[in-house]
Chains A and B, each alone.
Chain A
Amino acid sequence: MSIEHRDDTGDRFGMWLFLYTEVILFSGLFILYAMALAKFPQQYAEASHKLNIYFGSINTIVLLTSSLTIALAVSAIQMGRVKHCLNLCWVTVALAILFLVNKYFEWSAEISHGIYPGSEQLAEMGEGVTSFFNLYYFTAGLHGLHVLIGASLIGVVAVLTAKGKVTSDRYTLLENSALYWHLVDLVWIFLFPLYYLIL
């Protein structure tokens, strides 16, 4: 054993620990959601109907697809199909960008209706509605930041793959990035129904 020693299991183990911390980071916002929902059930339902379900649904499809492509990219590198893997990585990044563009239009529409944290129009809609949209912006915003980080990460790994640093023999970096991407997806899987669907 030397300092340059390699421990793929250890690397994956560390990544999983990091993902726990991410789950707990988001859980703080979900706790706030749960408490506020218990306090203002009707206003939450009313506010939820103001969200555009088409934007949300499209983004759900986009993210789920991107999770599939990154999972396929990992399989591709395991089989040594570098070119295939690279294509799948870039498709994932493209889908991430599509997600963010979609989000941009969604938020622009809402902001133009005077719905944003701290707006006076929002304050007039009542406490519950205000609380709903505050949480919606903060949670979706934090998630959007994670989409950005995840996509950048995958982009960097794709470049490293192209340079031959990530190979069928040594692919933990790609695998860990994919794990991160699945977490981004997972958060959305909870975020989407809570804000758009169930109320």
Chain B
Amino acid sequence: MSETTTYTGFWQESPRPGILGWLLTTDHKRIGILYLGSLISMFIVGACLGLAIRLELIAPGRTIMDAQTYNATFTVHGVIMIFMFLIPSIPAAFGNLLLPIHIGARDVSFPKLNLLSWYCYIIGAVLAVASIFGGGGAPDTGWTFYVPFSTQTSTNVSLAAFAAFMLGFSSILTGINFVTTVHRLRCEGMTWGRLPLFIWTLYATAWIQVLATPMIGITLVLIILERTFGAGLFDAARGGDPILYQHLFWIYSHPAVYIMILPGMGVISEVIPTFARKPLFGYWAMALSSLAIAFAGSLVWAHHMYASGMSDLAILVFSFLTFIVAIPSAIKVFNWVSTLYKGSIELAPPMLYALAFIFNFAIGGLGGLALGAAASDIHLHDTYFVVGHFHYVMFGGGGFALFAAMHYWLPKFTGRMYNHKVAVIGWALLFVGFNITYMAMQAVGIQGMPRRYYDYVPEFTTLNQVSTVGSWVMALGLIIMFANLWRGMRSGRPIGLNPWGAATLEWSIPSPPPLENFGEEDPVVTRGPYEFKGVVADEY
């Protein structure tokens, strides 16, 4: 079924041969592929842990693991999925693959730093995995490392915190690289108004990475110092303040959710115009709403802390600011839908993932408002509703956007197309399983089931069973999707330059792109990213 092609672009062209050509590469595409491979591996580990949690919760009482193992499992699931999968997912993998090509550059501004950031990621990932197996046992604090428990437990919290610190370093380096690249390396004719929206969201994300990540760095260092010296900075008995820890933690970790979702929104903004054959509705509104989300999102962190005992005034202010973030988010949703209106819609796999994103993100986003309003949050705080909401926006949003990106761009970077029918089956299972799993969680949360608990009262059994069964459907969908993509990348039908008929720059160069992306001549851009006039899709 596969024709042999001699051309393999950047997969073959490298200053160094063999494995060193990958481990010492400074080519942004190779680094993107390295990132993609490592973070998908971490995703699979995290997903298995998630399945184990769901399996444990299929019935009250002990099912497959004891309480301590359960605590460790949800902690490591959270740490892996957040720090090792969601935060680097789209920016580090597809951002690296695409950002230079999208703006007509040959690489990022600091190619060596780019490679260093991948090594920081790998060190962090190795340490995090080591913390599961090392001396004191896997960390059991939850991914938030809340004090006082995190300074008292005997498990490997210091190692896990240091792992997250290294991952933060990796994230900062990527952020610095991207901001500088967007400012300095746009090709001739690539004005700010012609940047693809994916680049606008990466740019906004990069600013959050640069400005917010150091805060988690110092917070995690303080946790390690607390554990090493027992100083008592967050211990109320010794003049410290545990709530201050929560503030410091969320000053980064709330903006971090925008690191996870904004690039996903960028992917959706690329996919939807392509498969609706229409320019994106409201370019500037979309571009500026990305910056607005980045800015406003940095001012809302304390909405995680309504029940912590902070002042009523603070609750009022942070609740208000939280609702402000809903405005630019809604602008995006409405503009995607307006783009679809009267478009010539083609339901190719990337488009299905994009539409699923809008559906999931709308549910997750509205649930976020229920949590952002102080009155309803007091009821919903620390229940499974929060878990459901978070997975709706992060997995249903960020995760689905990554899958959309994989279906949209992997053919470009491998030069081969996957099987569309199997992709649709995988998508359907994933979408249905996803909604069963997390809708049941939201429902059981409203009924009052607290999150992170090992056991629950028998009244919650039915919904938990539904959720667990949903997780199996979802797992099946994931397996089909990954298998299909893998098969497609290795032996799918070769494609031409532009299989989707998209108008951004990457579709005008060979698939897979060559080293340095463009030939002898630097590209000159004369039109916007969504002007489809004269763009013809190649048959494949």
- Is B184 a contact of A123 with CB atoms below 8 Å? no
A135 proximity list for chain B (CB < 8 A): 233
- Is A117 a contact of B239 with CB atoms below 8 Å? no
- Knowing A22-B214, A131-B240, say if A118 contacts B229 (CB, 8 Å): yes
Interface flags, A39-56, vs B, CB<8A=1, else 0: 110000000000000000
What 9 new A-B contacts, CB under 8 Å, besides A21-B211, A138-B222?
A: A5-B106, A21-B176, A24-B211, A28-B248, A31-B248, A36-B239, A39-B239, A123-B238, A131-B239
Q: Which of B88-132 contact A (CB under 8 A)?
A: 105-107, 109-111, 113
Give the CA-CA distance A130 to B241 in the complex, in Å. Answer: 13
Interface flags, A160-174, vs B, CB<8A=1, else 0: 000000000000000
A18 at the interface (CB under 8 A from B): yes
| Smallest beta-carbon distance A1→chain B, Å | 6
- Is A117 a contact of B184 with CB atoms below 8 Å? no
A-B residue pairs in contact (CB < 8 Å), sample of 16: A2-B516, A11-B109, A13-B180, A14-B176, A17-B179, A17-B180, A21-B213, A24-B212, A26-B218, A28-B214, A32-B233, A36-B239, A116-B229, A127-B237, A127-B239, A135-B233
| Smallest beta-carbon distance A189→chain B, Å | 19
Question: Majority SS of interface residues in chain B?
Answer: helix
- Knowing A3-B516, A117-B230, A138-B225, say if A131 contacts B238 (CB, 8 Å): yes
- Is B218 a contact of A130 with CB atoms below 8 Å? no
Q: Which of A7, A13, A14, A29 has the most CB of B within 10 A?
A: A14
A60 at the interface (CB under 8 A from B): no
Q: Which of B379-412 contact A (CB under 8 A)?
A: none
Give the CA-CA distance A93 to B238 in the complex, in Å. Answer: 39
- Is B176 a contact of A134 with CB atoms below 8 Å? no
B213 proximity list for chain A (CB < 8 A): 21
Count of chain A residues near B, Cβ 8 A: 41
Give the CA-CA distance A129 to B240 in the complex, in Å. Answer: 11
Q: Which of B486-540 contact A (CB under 8 A)?
A: 516, 522
- Is A3 a contact of B106 with CB atoms below 8 Å? yes
B219 at the interface (CB under 8 A from A): yes
| Smallest beta-carbon distance A39→chain B, Å | 8
B148 at the interface (CB under 8 A from A): no
A residues contacting B by CB (< 8 A) are: 1-3, 5, 7, 9-11, 13-14, 17-18, 20-22, 24-29, 31-32, 35-36, 39-40, 116-118, 123, 126-128, 130-131, 134-135, 137-138, 142
- Is A10 a contact of B210 with CB atoms below 8 Å? no
Total number of residue pairs linking A and B with CB closer than 8 Å:
113
A138 proximity list for chain B (CB < 8 A): 222, 225, 231, 233
Question: Majority SS of interface residues in chain A?
Answer: helix
- Is A9 a contact of B107 with CB atoms below 8 Å? no
A131 proximity list for chain B (CB < 8 A): 232-233, 238-240
- Knowing A10-B180, A13-B183, say if A20 contacts B241 (CB, 8 Å): no
Give the CA-CA distance A78 to B500 in the complex, in Å. Answer: 52
Q: Which of A1, A3, A20 contacts B210 (CB 8 A)?
A: A20
Give the CA-CA distance A53 to B516 in the complex, in Å. Answer: 57
Q: Who on chain B is nearest to A123 by CB?
A: B238
Q: Which of A24, A135, A137 has the most CB of B within 10 A?
A: A24
B244 at the interface (CB under 8 A from A): yes
B177 at the interface (CB under 8 A from A): yes
- Is A134 a contact of B231 with CB atoms below 8 Å? yes
| Smallest beta-carbon distance B171→chain A, Å | 10
